[in-house]
Amino acid sequence: MPNVSVLIPLALPGPYDYAVPADMQLEEGAIVRVPLGPRQVHGVVWGPGLADATDADLARKIKPIIALCDVPPLTEELRGFVDWVANYVMARPGAVLRQVMRVPAAFEPPKPLIVYTAGDKPDKMTAARTRIYDALAERGAMASAELARVAGVSASVVKTLIAGGHLTAREMAGDKHFPMPDAQYRRLDLSKAQADVAQALSAAVKTAQFTTHLLDGVTGAGKTEVYFEAIAQALESGKKALILLPEIALTTQFLDRFEARFGCEPALWHSGLSPAERRRTWREIAEDRVQVLVGARSALFLPWRNIGVIIVDEEHDGGFKQEDGVIYNARDMAVVRGQLADCPVILSTATPSLESYVNAQEGRYVAHRLTARHGAAQLPEIELVDMRTDPPPRGNWLVPQMVERVGAAIERGEQALLFLNRRGYAPLTLCRACGHRYACPDCDAWMVEHRFRKQLQCHHCGHMEGVPESCHGCGEADKLAACGPGVERITEEIIGHFPDARTLVLSSDMGGVAAMREAIARISAGDADIIVGTQIVAKGHDFPNLSFVGVVDADLGLGNGDLRAGERTYQLLSQVAGRSGRRADKPGFAMLQSHMPDHPVLQALAAGAREQFFEREIAARQMAQMPPFGRLAALIISATNPDEGLAFVRQLSARIPAHAQVRVLGPAPAPIARIRNRYRYRFLLKAERQAPLQGFISQWLNDVKPRGSVRLSVDIDPYNFL
């Protein structure tokens, strides 16, 4: 019996050898079931056996493969991607393979499914029943659970119709396929500028070679319509298209636009899918039957066979960085996957990350610019308010000019948005009698008051308490003072000014994705006058009636001193301002409240001097040899027992390798020194661009093992410096 090596999707040191039973035909990449200790697990045939075949003792220990799963094998491309990512982010290959193998139910062929079509309607039709028949008319046969979901009715309504014989049952072999997008369904008339870029991108898709494109166009330029043409070309070439979006669960607008262009919705991949949808989607992709999918970062690890183009929309968004488990940046890994798949990768944004901007400047990425909004719409004018000379009235957070602008917008029948990137009512609560500050018991962080829910919450671990009636420190009642504003407090203030306006808060606290989606739909439909929102409002939405944006605290992101503070503030504020004035007849205007209006980032924003901002930022990074001109990595050590943590940190400190191109800073307590009761320490590695950073780290960590409560993680190209 020959042996093969099988990689198991667990954080094990490497693949293990298994024997192939005589009657089993195996290809590399095949998904198999193997014994692992007392368990049976899935694994993937990774290559020939590695164990020494002449060692008889060892040979006896090698166990046979139990079964071969009835699913297409993972392609060499995908296996290569797993190995590449594992090497780059310094994770175990099995841990990366886990990103691929999350849906074991998809490894066996689907069971036959009972689906229903419309039968004789009952005499008594309710609104819910009508929706069921409408859904069937529109979508065709569906399983009962899916039918209930699509029609938006409870399962019992469907069951009653089935029991009454009003729906016709039929057995369907296999999964329902996703509808086929039609490349020709409805082509928009593109502007000359759009058409030129669309043509360049389509040509790249047609040649089927790896190239990376930066689609860099102002907010409202019509970038989506442009990259839709690249997707159309992929479809025409018989290839698949993958679109990665941050906050995918909130993007119903995007799905509508896709449907308007291609005649049906794309497949979806995000954490909100039901297990059944997840299984079907994975399986259909493995069988090479999904044409276009819109997904979160994990969609990169799906078993694609024939990718024609990968699009990363809002490429600057920090949400593409996965911060736990396998720590990777999906934007960067998308480029890697494109390279392995020989297809172009399109990074789309109105505010490029500095990395991508420099890559375009240095010719590694092909740059495409759209400098004007679609049609006659103009970019909003941006004005700074100096809060030092022009403060708001006592006890308020909004200057009178801001309130006037909001009033003027709603007077014109338009919408106003107030932006503050801070959830809750107030970021700090203290006792006016004794000065006691409410802190999280498990983190080094203040508790944030959420007045609408009557709770204090820690934003790092989620710990919650009721708002206390009397001070925990001195026992005095009614002495608690809220310090600083959050969105709830701004809402309270603006309602005070405009009690009759329809005011809506948009933040991740509103109770789930469905509620947020509904709020976004209401705003687009003009069903709100004033919106108070956190960064969720900045994410690519098209609000046609919005003409004024007020930023409550433009300085918020500038103070924390991390590497990307300026870059992030620039991106966030230009994205937020860019929500306004998307229609030619409603010019946009943005007002930024600041205590440091002379700050270069804010000056560049107000002047619309994007290139100036980039040049300054690039010069500063170059000088400091910071990314993308140098490289960073972080080692994060955490432990529930601080002595254990410190001992491990000391052990690491004592064995830092010497290397001319790599500097190790630290150890230092992490800026938030305790989260979820784990004490945290950090080493920061700063390396020259070409330095063998991963090799340095493996040499350093070779043979050291965290023990007890200690955990060690490596973050290559860190984004989060907390």
Binding site for ligand ADP (CB under 6 A): 188-191, 194, 217, 219-225, 374, 542
Q: Which residues contact 342 (CB under 8 A, 6 or more apart)?
A: 208, 209, 210
Q: Which residues contact 72 (CB under 8 A, 6 or more apart)?
A: 286, 287, 288, 303, 305
CB nearer ligand ADP, residue 95 or residue 590: 590
CB of 96 to ligand ADP, least distance (A): 32
Q: How far apart are CA 48 and CA 2, in angstroms?
A: 9
CB of 149 to ligand ADP, least distance (A): 28
Return the structure tokens found at 248.
């995918």
| Residue in this structure with the two tokens 């993308």, named with its chain if needed | 628
CB nearer ligand ADP, residue 103 or residue 605: 605
Quick one: which of 397, 398, 352, 369 has its CA closest to 575? Answer: 352
Write out the DSSP string of 210-276: --EEEEEE-TTS-HHHHHHHHHHHHHHTT-EEEEE-TTGGG-HHHHHHHHHHHSSPPEEESTTS-HH
Is the Cβ–Cβ distance between 497 and 543 less than 8 Å? no
CB of 574 to ligand ADP, least distance (A): 11
Residue 458 interacts, among ligand ADP, Zn ion, none and using kind-specific CB cut-offs from 5 to 8 Å, with Zn ion
CB of 524 to ligand ADP, least distance (A): 10
Decide: is 461 part of the binding site for Zn ion (CB under 5 A). yes
Decide: is 26 part of the binding site for Zn ion (CB under 5 A). no
Q: How far apart are CA 449 and CA 430, in angstroms?
A: 11
Return the structure tokens found at 635.
């080692």
CB of 68 to Zn ion, least distance (A): 47
CB of 597 to ligand ADP, least distance (A): 27
Residue 557 interacts, among ligand ADP, Zn ion, none and using kind-specific CB cut-offs from 5 to 8 Å, with none
**Dihedral in degrees, nearest 10, Cα atoms 551, 554, 556, 561:** 150
CA–CA–CA angle 217, 219, 222 (5° rounding) = 65
Residue 461 interacts, among Zn ion, ligand ADP, none and using kind-specific CB cut-offs from 5 to 8 Å, with Zn ion
Residue 220 interacts, among Zn ion, ligand ADP, none and using kind-specific CB cut-offs from 5 to 8 Å, with ligand ADP
Residue 98 interacts, among Zn ion, ligand ADP, none and using kind-specific CB cut-offs from 5 to 8 Å, with none
Q: Which residues contact 205 (CB under 8 A, 6 or more apart)?
A: 230, 233, 234, 237, 239, 308, 309, 343, 344
Decide: is 465 part of the binding site for Zn ion (CB under 5 A). no
Quick one: which of 221, 238, 297, 235 has its CA closest to 266? Answer: 235
Decide: is 458 part of the binding site for Zn ion (CB under 5 A). yes
Residue 460 interacts, among ligand ADP, Zn ion, none and using kind-specific CB cut-offs from 5 to 8 Å, with Zn ion
Amino acid at 187: R
Residue 188 interacts, among ligand ADP, Zn ion, none and using kind-specific CB cut-offs from 5 to 8 Å, with ligand ADP
- Residue nearest ligand ADP, CB atom distance: 222
Determine which helix (DSSP H) or strand (DSSP E) holds 281, and give its type and residue range: helix 275-286
Amino acid at 464: M
CB nearer ligand ADP, residue 181 or residue 540: 540
Name the one range near Zn ion by CB under 5 A: 43-51, 59-67, 298-306, 460-468. Answer: 460-468
CB of 194 to ligand ADP, least distance (A): 6
Candidates 176, 369, 463, 517: give the one binding Zn ion (CB under 5 A): 463
Residue 463 interacts, among Zn ion, ligand ADP, none and using kind-specific CB cut-offs from 5 to 8 Å, with Zn ion
54 CB-side CA count, 13 A: 0
CB nearer Zn ion, residue 449 or residue 567: 449
CB nearer ligand ADP, residue 196 or residue 542: 542
Residue 392 interacts, among ligand ADP, Zn ion, none and using kind-specific CB cut-offs from 5 to 8 Å, with none
Binders of Zn ion among residues 411 to 450 (CB under 5 A) are: 440, 442-443
CB of 242 to ligand ADP, least distance (A): 18
Q: How far apart are CA 641 and CA 636, in angstroms?
A: 15
CB nearer ligand ADP, residue 222 or residue 424: 222
CB nearer ligand ADP, residue 70 or residue 189: 189
CB of 446 to Zn ion, least distance (A): 10
Amino acid at 265: E
b/e code 15-47 from CB counts within 10 Å (16+ = b): bbbbbbeeebebebbbbbbbebeeeebbbbbbe
Decide: is 459 part of the binding site for Zn ion (CB under 5 A). no
Residue 381 interacts, among ligand ADP, Zn ion, none and using kind-specific CB cut-offs from 5 to 8 Å, with none
Residue 440 interacts, among Zn ion, ligand ADP, none and using kind-specific CB cut-offs from 5 to 8 Å, with Zn ion
Helices (H) and strands (E) in the chain, counts: 20, 31
Peptide bond into 35 cis (omega under 30): no
CB nearer Zn ion, residue 443 or residue 636: 443
Rule CB under 5 A: which residues touch Zn ion? Answer: 440, 442-443, 458, 460-461, 463
